[in-house]
Structure 1
Amino acid sequence: MIFILREKADYSVLREKLQDSSASYKFLDLYGKKIVVAWPDEYVSNIVDPSIEITVKPKKPYQLVSNEWKKEPTKVKVKDAEIGDNKVIVAAGPCAVENEEQVLTVAKAVKRAGASILRGGAYKPRTSPYSFQGLGEEGLKILKKASEETGLPIVSEIMDTRDIEIFKKYVDMMQIGARNAQNFDLLKEVGKAGLPVLLKRGMANTVEEWLLTAEYILLEGNGNVVLCERGIRTFEKATRFTIDIGGMVAAKLQTHLPICADPSHPAGKRELVHSLALAAVAAGADMLLIEVHPHPEKALSDSEQQLTPESFEVLMNRIRALANALGRTA
């Protein structure tokens, strides 16, 4: 149950009623509104109080993420980039930060091509413990320098609650990767951190499970969440993962949050990235996450799916043409 409260009202009596009901509840400031989330519904369905302006009983289990209570689409600002507006926002950069020259080269190239956000992995969750694990904080420092030189805000993946303060020093948007999509302690702490969040769908998560992971972040009072479809694991071997365009559209119809697509990971091969990116834009994606490396064949991770700067520029031109045909910009 969601209670949308009146501005400058006295909530003390309502708080007493909630305590007497034996329900769990939380007061939140979200999207410029003072609200209370209370559960289970049957414990609070009869509560009436002058401080309550609107009572909403969402049918979905992800009540804060659902567009049943918030009809207008949410726009998430990452510095000057606004995700969820008419413009298709593109975040681009290397899979992993390897050195300063690599990141600066890519950052300048993707900025020239029209990217709005710089992506790069400083902490890398790898399937094998013997694979390159990233440069850690040194990688974040390199991203920060590239950001200062290009003006591009940074999105990078966080893996551990102990690194929250480090990330707050260097990045503009925290990414929750597919392997941590249901790391609930991490979701809660990232929600408390206050920075915008790019939340990837777990490789075996249903759409409902994906949206419920976002609910953890919103329940901490952070409504600046972008949902990212990055491919799920199926029986198919022709691609690295299966990009679930249908699931992405289904999520977009059920939530007010903006939707991102990561075509690089499901492609697994750079020759597929353009088509998957364009398919996602055609299906309504608000943002794309693209991997770009100056010399992909030498990359320390995901070398086969990263685009060259030249290929990325061609893709940006194609994205703009498609966006314009759909009445959007890029």
Structure 2
Amino acid sequence: MIIVMKSSAGRKELAEVKKRIRELGYKPHVIHGTTRNVVGAVGDERGKAVLQTLQTLPGVESVVPILKPYKLAGREVKPEPTLVEIVPGLVVGGEEFVVMAGPCSVECESQILETARAVKAAGARLLRGGAFKPRTSPYAFQGLEEEGLKLLALAREETGLPVVTEVVNPRDVELVARYADVMQVGARNVQNFALLKMLGQLDKPILLKRGMSTTIQEYLMSAEYILAEGNRRVILCERGIRTFETATRNTLDIAAVPVLKNQTHLPVIVDPSHATGHAHLVPPMCYAAAAAGADGLIVEVHPHPEDAASDGPQSLRPEDFRQMMTRLAAFTDAAGRTLNGAD
């Protein structure tokens, strides 16, 4: 249920509504609007009719059922877009089209520092890099783990770029959180609900990638797990889905961007690297993402893709990334967005 407060309602009335929601066995989630507050009451669907009694409380304007199965992620409870602050001065979901870039995996100090310098010079706002790498093969490179996290922190110290990196296992959440500015959940873990619940208890942005066979509704229900635990700083990422096509690594569901923007208030970015699997296809998909209304990109960049420990074929060289960023400015401008580092 959504409890819509009157514009004149104060803290006392809001506190009483929250108290009564808890007494009825539900969890209150307050969304502060520009003119009034809204309270989402989340819990067992079977007894939600009792929440209608909240209509009689002082300061309550109306009590409205939430029709979608995802209660907190949907626009019913929060019509205006959510702005996710990464660090002061850097927001995903606002006017700026935010680009995150870096290697698939952190391999050594020289590699991550060279990449970090290059992507920053080209206009990237965050440095991506994997320290823990979930791989299809148990024999593939699995990442440098904590040593990789330390190298990412070193690159952040030198360049000032906030770091986004993946957490794979619930037991590693605390460790990764010590180093990362944004915690990434990869496609394979989109329905790892134990992990999602733990991330929901952090006060850190979460970058949630869509699973390779996950429907939009299933995807938003995964986001709901994080939101229900209290963390509202969720960024969605379309990274391609599995289809019958073999010409690309996955099939980039570009239509998912406007669909998600219509159904949820959460910001949406696109990963064209994992979606296509081929470096020459990445720039066109970057432009398509901007045109479709995405809030940003996460792109793989490596100084020497031919020697990369993972995902070399889909990684842009620094010069190719710079050229892509230059051309991207025309698309973000047409979409009414700004791009850092644009000429």
Give the distance between the partners of 1:253 and 1:208, measured in 2 at CA.
Answer: 13
Q: Offset at 1:244?
A: 0.5
The one-letter amino acid of 1:99's match is C
Unaligned runs of 5+ in 2: none
Partner-residue secondary structure (3-state), 2:26: strand
TM-score, with length taken from structure 1: 0.94
Which of 71, 81, 86 does residue 95 from structure 2 map onto? Answer: 86
CA contact 2:305–2:313 (8 Å) conserved in 1 = yes
Unaligned runs of 5+ in 1: none
Partner-residue secondary structure (3-state), 1:145: helix
Please, what is the CA RMSD of the aligned residues?
A: 1.9
Q: Percentage identity across aligned positions? A: 50
Q: Is the aligned partner of 1:236 residue 2:240?
A: no
Partner of 2:145: 136
The number of aligned residues is 327
Q: Offset at 1:46?
A: 3.7
Spell out the pairing of 1:149-228 with structure 2 (5 A cutoff): 149-228=158-237
Q: Which moved more, 1:271-280 or 1:161-170?
A: 161-170
Which of 290, 294, 297 does residue 285 from structure 1 map onto? Answer: 294
TM-score, with length taken from structure 2: 0.90
Closer/same/farther in 2, CA of residues 147 and 69 from structure 1, 3 Å limit? same
Closer/same/farther in 2, CA of residues 27 and 306 from structure 1, 3 Å limit? same
Closer/same/farther in 2, CA of residues 14 and 78 from structure 1, 3 Å limit? closer
Give the distance between the partners of 2:223 and 2:256, measured in 1 at CA.
Answer: 15
Q: Is the aligned partner of 1:42 residue 2:49?
A: yes
CA contact 1:229–1:244 (8 Å) conserved in 2 = yes
Give the distance between the partners of 1:43 and 1:223, measured in 2 at CA.
Answer: 26
The one-letter amino acid of 2:108's match is N
Partner of 2:26: 25
CA contact 1:56–1:69 (8 Å) conserved in 2 = no
Q: Offset at 1:59?
A: 1.6
Give the distance between the partners of 2:146 and 2:267, measured in 1 at CA.
Answer: 29
* Structure 1 runs (4+) greater than 6 angstroms displaced: none
Which of 117, 121, 127 does residue 112 from structure 1 map onto? Answer: 121
Give the distance between the partners of 1:155 and 1:53, measured in 2 at CA.
Answer: 41
Partner-residue secondary structure (3-state), 2:211: coil
Q: Offset at 1:31?
A: 5.1
Spell out the pairing of 1:7-22 with structure 2 (5 A cutoff): 7-9=10-12, 11=15, 15=19, 19=23, 21=24
CA contact 1:113–1:313 (8 Å) conserved in 2 = yes
Closer/same/farther in 2, CA of residues 170 and 53 from structure 1, 3 Å limit? farther
Q: Which moved more, 1:94-103 or 1:55-64?
A: 55-64
Partner-residue secondary structure (3-state), 1:245: coil
CA contact 1:7–1:34 (8 Å) conserved in 2 = no
